[in-house]
Structure 1
């Protein structure tokens, strides 16, 4: 297993290099100029040219890429034009805020959706199955920003049960359990939106995967031998149905850090998704490239963890 992981990590190096070239090329091809972000609008042409030279934007594109990638490998992603600080200092705080929101949501969604998916598969076409099938269709088809706006109106504006924006109450200097309670109140509405959206898709994936397995010949054989239904479902069927679910887990890992761009914008949540939108709108190229590389590497690592998970749940898959 260790040899397999080492080999896969080595294979990721050329992929990461190609991704970095692609990201750098696309960002440089976008219209706009970051020079204006650092200068007074009344700056002269000479001042703008001097600023371009300071940022290294007057050099050829291949030279700019080489300078950027060599600095990035050393942990220097340049300065953010928006926050006037090194990018490496800007990103961690916002990633932490996104993780606070997403980790709770995904843990809850997986713990609830997998048992529901198993029950709906075992009781196919029952009232329970029909209810959660309708729930999944509605949850998948409803845009998160629209659902978020509905919750803001009914629970935030009309009834004022929960705060509608931010991560904590502005102006309150509270600590300890009071601060935790305040943050949980702010998590409530965006958390509900994310939980519903994730439950809808995970229940459907689990149900479909279980239905494919419980109709196999070896499941009927296990039942004919007199095994208890719980043993047949949870020991034999569920283990083989885990492979598609593991795939989803692999794709979920980047989401824990990347945040939900649209949802964070609607609820004004200070997460990394909003930072990415601001970086695009304000031409903060250093921050934009660093974030995209971070998300790309997380996606590759998520795929690697999914492959390792396949081998753990299915001994027929060899990783040597």
Structure 2
């Protein structure tokens, strides 16, 4: 296992180099510039040129790339032209906000979807199966921004049960448990939208995977030996059905930190998705490159965790 991990990590190095070149090249080819979008329109040409040089945009592109990689390896991703702060201070704060929201969604969606998917597969075409099939189609098809606006209209604007937007009550100085409860109230609506969408897809994955497994010959053999249905389903079928689900969970790892751009904008949730959208709109190159590089690293780590999960779920799979 250790040799496998070391080999995979070494393989990730050239992949990250290629990804970093692609990120840098695509962003530099994007029309526009942070100089002119984020500065005072009354600044003189000399002041704009000074800002252009301060950001290092006057250097040749290969030199800019080498400088960016060298700084990034030392944890310095440069200044943000939009927020006038180091990128290394901005990203952790907003990544943490996205993580708080998404990890709650992940836990609820996973704990609910797996047993529901198993029940739907075991009781195929029953009322329960039909209900969750319709629910899954609804959850997958409904645009998240539209569903979020509906929840805001009915439960925030009309009924006043929950805050309309933000992560905490503006102007409040709450601390301790009161602050935690206030943030949870603000989380409920965006978390509901994300949970329904995630639950819908996970239920479909679990149901489909279980249906494929329970029709296999070894499941019929297990039943013919007199094993109880619970043992057949949870000991023999479910463990093999977990393989596609482990793959899906691996892809969820970057989503825990990358946020939901549209949903965070609708609910004005100060997550990394909303910050990245602002960076794109105002051509904040350093912030754009740092966030994209972070998402690339998280995606590679998610794939690595999925491969390790295969070996944990199914001992027949040898990572060597």
Match of 2:169 in 1: 169
Match of 1:73 in 2: 73
Match of 1:97 in 2: 97
Shift of 1:178: 1.3
Q: Structure 1 residues 166, 212: closer, same or farther in 2, change over 3 A?
A: same
Q: For 2:153 and 2:44, how far apart are their aligned partners in 1?
A: 48
Q: For 1:219 and 1:287, how far apart are their aligned partners in 2?
A: 52
Deviations 1:198-253 (A, max 9, x none): 11000000000000000000000000000111110001000000010001100101
Shift of 1:319: 1.1
SS in 2 for 1:24: helix
Task: Kindly indicate whether the alpha-carbon contact (under 8 Å) linking 1:156 and 1:162 is maintained by their aligned counterparts in 2.
Answer: yes
Shift of 1:54: 2.1
Number of equivalent positions: 320
Q: For 1:42 and 1:262, how far apart are their aligned partners in 2?
A: 33
Task: Kindly indicate whether the alpha-carbon contact (under 8 Å) linking 2:38 and 2:282 is maintained by their aligned counterparts in 1.
Answer: no
Shift of 1:41: 1.4
Q: TM-score with structure 2 length normalisation?
A: 0.98
Shift of 1:259: 0.8
Match of 1:240 in 2: 240
- Whether 2:269 is the aligned partner of 1:266: answer no
SS in 1 for 2:209: helix
Q: For 1:101 and 1:39, how far apart are their aligned partners in 2?
A: 33
Match of 2:211 in 1: 211
Q: For 1:9 and 1:120, how far apart are their aligned partners in 2?
A: 39
SS in 1 for 2:221: helix
Question: What is the root-mean-square deviation in Å for CA atoms of aligned residues?
Answer: 1.0
Runs of 5+ consecutive residues of structure 2 not aligned to the other structure:
none
Deviations 1:93-140 (A, max 9, x none): 111111111111110100000000000000001110000000000100
- Compare 175-184 and 256-265 and name the one that shifted more: 175-184
Shift of 1:172: 1.3
Q: For 2:226 and 2:242, how far apart are their aligned partners in 1?
A: 24
After superposition, where does 1:50-61 map in structure 2 within 5 Å?
A: 50-61=50-61
Shift of 1:37: 4.8
Match of 1:40 in 2: 40
Runs of 5+ consecutive residues of structure 1 not aligned to the other structure:
none
Q: Which runs of 4+ in 1 moved over 4 A?
A: none
Shift of 1:63: 1.0
Shift of 1:257: 0.5
Q: For 2:53 and 2:278, how far apart are their aligned partners in 1?
A: 25
